[in-house]
Structure 1
Amino acid sequence: MAPSFNDDNTLFNFVVKDGNGVKGLVDSGLTEVPSRYIQPPYQRINKQQAATASPENMVIDLSELDGPNHDQVVKAIAHAAETLGFFQVVNHGVPLKLLELLKVSAHQFFSQPPEKKAVYLKAVSPSPIVKYGTSFVPEVEKALEWKDYINMVYTNDSDALEFWPNECKEVALEYIKTSKEMVKRLLQELIGNLGVNLDDSRLESLMGLRMVNMNFYPTCPNPELTVGVGRHSDMGTLTVLLQDGIGGLYVKKGENLSTGNEEWIEIPPIDGALVINIGDILQIISNGRYKSAEHRVRTTSSASRVSVPIFNVPLPVAKIGPLPELVARDGVARYRELVFQEYMNNFFGNAHEGKKSLDFAAIN
């Protein structure tokens, strides 16, 4: 018989403090979702009511940036950044074999016994550049998210090989290294499309810190009541995301629709493609021209799902604000200048709540 997790303290200690995670709940044999994971109705994802993005309208061949179709490709990238905030890319420079190995490695890490993963809990981790956890900020969330993760911060190769988990460190490191030029090129084209030229040092400052997550969404007995990740936007500049073949990523179409009238679009998994989404920092520096994407993840009862994002963010000490050239052109600054560490502290100090994190930088 599965243990009872109806007591919030017992559940919190088991899942969060002891490091069993959501997978530990599932492995215990539970047949229904504990009350702490039940989302309010407006947060739940109705798959039947969501549209599916048409692949031909979302997939951009990055190899064409170096050919006669350059301007057309940049136009497509910019249009996606100005509207949905999401697009998918192929011929991106990351080896396809590596993408498959990343998914395998993620499953290998999370299939380990809880005590093997718990050594990376924040309180006991051998280094601040690696952290195992569950949900997002479980200490402040009213309803927990149905997700476990391992977070790896890149500082240098030697630290990664010393401290990141053996099951995934080599493939995660290669993923970060082989995606760097793609991210830099995308930023270069997006900023250039705004009529601003940034030198290499300024471009590098927008992606000065890179973090790779491996996310694990175990099978859920009541997926209609839960979310894998709640509605949010990413705090950084650009996110690179590897999906597996199961799907479950949803993006909100438009920013001003009220709750209940929102339109959500599922981003379908495409073999060999990587998903790119605009983060809050790119919305801020573009003075609102580019839109960070509000998105969320559903759960499923059919199979466990993995995803592997790379978050490209500025260094904590970097000053972030609208590009001066755009403020001069627009006649107004829509966001204040701030140190990125301040933005991170606010982002990680609150539960997911749509794009509310941007309010911290907005000038009203």
Structure 2
Amino acid sequence: MESQVPPLNTGSSVVSVQELIKETMDAVPERYVRRDQEPQILSDKGSTETPVVPVIDFGKLSSDPIAGDQELQKLHEACKDSGFFQLVNHGIGHSLLEDLRHEIEEFFKLPLSEKEKFGRRSGEFEGYGSVPRSEEELDWGDRFLMTVNPVAKRNPRLFPRLPMSLRNTLDSYIKETQKLAMWLLHLISKCLDIEMNKMKEIFEDGFQILRMTYYPPCPQPELVVGLTPHSDATGITILHQINGVDGFQIKKDGVWIPIHILPHALVVNVGDTMEILTNGLYNSIEHRATVNSIKERMSIAMFFNPKLDSEIGPIQSLMTKESPALFRRIKMEKYVSDFSSHKLDGKSYLEKMKL
């Protein structure tokens, strides 16, 4: 999810990095320069390390009782130790993913005048454009973010007004990821040894947001950041790297590590809400997006949250005398509202939730 901040006075209703790179530039404009960003970890030879990351085979989880138990343990360990994993054999067809890639590419190719119709408006967190992190700072990326569930909460000027082919493809993808998310949450209940319908109870027909992001190439990629370092406010996030260009990084043991995403794999990461629900047993992962000088990168993320009218806090059965509640309880609607008005800054918002 994204933070709400005052819009920049740019003279245009939408700030677009895509439009900016059409201009000839010798240097990145100052408002995009992020000197506060830590470098990624490098090997002794100076080449980027590709660490071993958890890869979960969803096919085994859902169809093979023996191998499934081993995958379930891997899932549990990934949520505890890494806070994220790559999911393969997830059941979302390659043809749908290919259609999705094509439709999203076509959307970002539209003239700015067309995309401006979906522009983010002052005081709203939804819509199209580049989101300022403060009055002075911008990330090097354009995004289109919108509420997709509950359907009644959809902004009438966004999803319903999209080109029909994009809308239909997104609708199919949303339904597939919703099914996948509920299966994963069911399996997480099993991992945690809690009442099997507990996660379903919390998340079914919950508050869900979709974000499509376009990161243009940058002449000085070392000076910018595509997406500010943060942990998601969600229960879980499902990310698809649309065009196969890497840029996703996680923070582990205090350093930034680049992740190579496998072809057709989905990245699933634990969010702050899941850390709260599990009373700290599972860890939300701090992550960011970087850019390069040659190729644009595109991604689509689905953010899965509990129902807005629910209350979140540590699940009762995961608290003991030895492990009392680490987080306070809060209404989900207030939690989302507070997060949306909070500047992205690592896991700082989760810290505010601690008792």
1:205 aligns with 2:202: yes
SS in 1 for 2:86: strand
Q: What does residue 90 of structure 1 align with?
A: 88
Query: Structure 1: which amino acid aligns with 2:224?
Result: T
1:301 aligns with 2:298: no
Map residues 230-309 of structure 1 onto 2, 5 A cutoff.
230-243=228-241, 244-254=243-253, 262-309=254-301
Map residues 121-140 of structure 1 onto 2, 5 A cutoff.
121-123=119-121, 131-135=127-131, 138=132, 140=134
Query: Structure 2: which amino acid aligns with 1:359?
Result: E
Map residues 1-364 of structure 1 onto 2, 5 A cutoff.
12-13=9-10, 17-45=12-40, 51-54=49-52, 57-65=53-61, 66-67=63-64, 68-123=66-121, 131-135=127-131, 138=132, 140=134, 142-154=136-148, 155-156=150-151, 162-166=160-164, 168-199=166-197, 202-207=199-204, 208-243=206-241, 244-254=243-253, 262-328=254-320, 330-363=322-355
Is the alpha carbon distance of 1:329 and 1:215 closer, same or farther for their aligned partners in structure 2, counting shifts above 3 Å? farther
Shifted more, 85-94 versus 186-195: the winner is: 186-195
Query: Structure 2: which amino acid aligns with 1:132?
Result: Y
Instruction: Write out the 4+ residue segments of structure 1 that deviate beyond 6 Å after TM superposition.
Output: 157-161
Query: Structure 1: which amino acid aligns with 2:202?
Result: S
Is the alpha carbon distance of 1:11 and 1:27 closer, same or farther for their aligned partners in structure 2, counting shifts above 3 Å? farther
SS in 2 for 1:119: helix
Shifted more, 149-158 versus 337-346: the winner is: 149-158
- Give the Cα separation in 1 of the matches to 2:218 and 2:140: 8
Gaps of 5+ in 2: 1-5
How far did 1:189 drift?
A: 1.6
What is the root-mean-square deviation of aligned Cα atoms in Å?
2.7
Cα contact 1:152–1:164 (8 A) shared by 2: no
How far did 1:72 drift?
A: 0.6
- Give the Cα separation in 2 of the matches to 1:95 and 1:23: 30
- Percent identity among equivalent residues? 30
How far did 1:296 drift?
A: 0.6
> How high is the TM-score relative to the length of structure 1?
0.85
Shifted more, 351-360 versus 75-84: the winner is: 351-360
Is the alpha carbon distance of 1:316 and 1:31 closer, same or farther for their aligned partners in structure 2, counting shifts above 3 Å? farther
Cα contact 2:8–2:135 (8 A) shared by 1: no
- Give the Cα separation in 2 of the matches to 1:10 and 1:242: 28
Query: Structure 2: which amino acid aligns with 1:249?
Result: F
Is the alpha carbon distance of 1:115 and 1:274 closer, same or farther for their aligned partners in structure 2, counting shifts above 3 Å? same
- Give the Cα separation in 2 of the matches to 1:117 and 1:231: 26
- Give the Cα separation in 1 of the matches to 2:208 and 2:82: 23
- Give the Cα separation in 2 of the matches to 1:105 and 1:329: 53
Cα contact 1:61–1:89 (8 A) shared by 2: yes
Query: Structure 2: which amino acid aligns with 1:123?
Result: R
